[in-house]
Structure formats: C-alpha cells, structure tokens
Amino acid sequence: EDKVVQSPLSLVVHEGDTVTLNCSYEVTNFRSLLWYKQEKKAPTFLFMLTSSGIEKKSGRLSSILDKKELSSILNITATQTGDSAIYLCAVEPNNAGNMLTFGGGTRLMVKP
Amino acid sequence: DAGVTQSPTHLIKTRGQQVTLRCSPKSGHDTVSWYQQALGQGPQFIFQYYEEEERQRGNFPDRFSGHQFPNYSSELNVNALLLGDSALYLCASSTRTGVSYEQYFGPGTRLTVT
C-alpha cells in the first residue's frame, strides 16, 4: 500500500522567515510527486516532480525530489501571511490514471 | 470557463441516512475522481469514473457508490451514514490521458453526520 508522510504537522513562523516542509513516501512504481496548497477548500497545484525533473522553482517557492531517500522538500523563502495554508504532498504511481495518495499535510501559519 | 463545481456546499445528516453529492467537471474534462478529507488529514481517494464506469477504487466500503452521467458530471452516494463519514468531500476532474497536474479540484462539500 502506498504511503506518504509529511512533517512537521504544523508550523508557526513570522513574515520573512524561510520554511522547509518535508514529505517522505513509499510507492510501488513511482511516477510523480505533487505539492498542493490548500487555503480553504480546493487544493491548488504547486509543483510536480518526476524522475526526470527533480527540482522546480516558482518565485519564492521551490521543491526538490530525492529519489534515493524517497523524499521531497518544499521551501518557501521570505514568507508572507498569504502563505498561510495547509501544504499537501501526494504521489502518483505509474498507470494509476491520476489517482493520488496524499500525506496528512503540514499546516503553516505565518504571523505578521 | 467554469472550473470544477460541487453541490451542495454544506450538508448535515443524521446517522443511518443516505446522502448524494454532486460534481460538474471542468469544461473539456471527462474523468472525475472523488476524495474524502477528514478534519486534520489529507484527502483519501474514494473512486474514479470515466466513460460512465467506475475505473479505480480506493479502500472504501460498498456504502460508498457513485455514478457518472453522459455529460461527465458525477454523483457520490453514501448509504447508512456513520459519524466517521463526516468530512470534506472533494471532486477532481481531469482528462483520461492528461497528466496529474492537470487534475483540478472543486471546492468540496462539507458533510456533517450527527
């Protein structure tokens, strides 16, 4: 059974801080790892990492996939209050037709 | 272009009752997946519909069933509700041949079972 574990469960930082969120996974026949941001209800896509694309960056956010350690990190630099959300990590096996296994999420709160 | 829509937004039911949740996929999408997200947890895959048939199923009992209509919209039915069924139910739409990042989530239906 595929498994995704995220840490920490929650995090409180102040604006301007840098945070690192962790995701470790066990999946049969890995295809991709995805990061989502969930502010209220609908998760919104941030990054997808695959064996051929192990590092992604968008503005203050970046993510790296460690294929050897079966893990990924999501970095957020110069945090803002608008970054407050639940961050979800998910894995997709090959031939799974977009079926995702999610971790429990990390709740990030950024204080002014 | 409307994204994924779900109805109702909130729902309160009593143990033992039955509930139907609805999802309209994003325009151009033909595949609908349903997820259950309990409070403080990540979403869990329930099942996926394509061409009006259930194609994949997660580890959920038969009390959870679904349907997909010719216009690609979908329903999730839950029978004999339990307190533990209280959760946010998310619908995600995609194309059958699309990549996973092109899967869009709806705003969810918050179900409370009392």
User: What's the pLDDT score for residue A52?
Assistant: 79
pLDDT at B1 over 70: no
Of A45, A102, A105, the CB nearest to B101: A45
- pLDDT for res B10: 96
Provide the pLDDT for residue A94. 84
Query: A69: which 2 tokens?
Result: 């350690």
Cα–Cα distance between A102 and B111 in angstroms, integer? 20
Mean pLDDT of B35-44: 96
- Find the chain B residues whose C-beta atoms sit closer than 8 A to any C-beta of A: 4, 31, 33, 35, 40-45, 48, 50, 55-56, 58, 88, 90, 92, 94, 96, 98-101, 103, 105-108
In tens digits, chain A (112 residues) has pLDDT values of 889 999 999 999 999 999 999 999 998 889 999 999 999 889 999 999 998 778 899 999 999 999 889 999 999 999 999 999 999 999 998 877 778 999 999 999 999 9
Q: What average pLDDT does this structure show over B18-41?
A: 96
Strand B74-78: give its sheet, edge to edge: B5-7, B19-24, B74-78, B64-68
pLDDT tier for residue B110 given thresholds of 50, 70 and 90: very high
CA distance B113 to chain A (A): 19
Q: A42–B42: do the CB atoms touch at under 8 Å?
A: no
Provide the β-strand partners of residue A5: A24
Q: Would you mind telling me the total number of residues written for chain B in this entry?
A: 114
pLDDT band at residue B103 under the 50/70/90 scheme:
confident
Indicate if the pLDDT at residue B98 is higher than 80: no
Q: Are B114 and B29 in contact (CB under 8 A)?
A: no
The predicted pLDDT at position A93 comes to 87
Tens digits of residue pLDDT in B42-85: 999 999 999 999 999 999 999 999 999 999 999 999 999 999 99
Rounded average pLDDT over B2-15: 95
Q: What is the pLDDT of residues A3-17, one digit of tens each?
A: 999 999 999 999 999
Q: What digits encode the pLDDT tens for the residues A41-50?
A: 899 999 999 9
Q: What residues of A are in contact with residue B48 (Cβ under 8 Å)? A: 97-99
In the prediction, which pLDDT does A28 show? 85
Q: Which residues in chain A have Cβ-Cβ distances shorter than 8 Å to B42?
A: 4, 6, 88, 90, 102-105
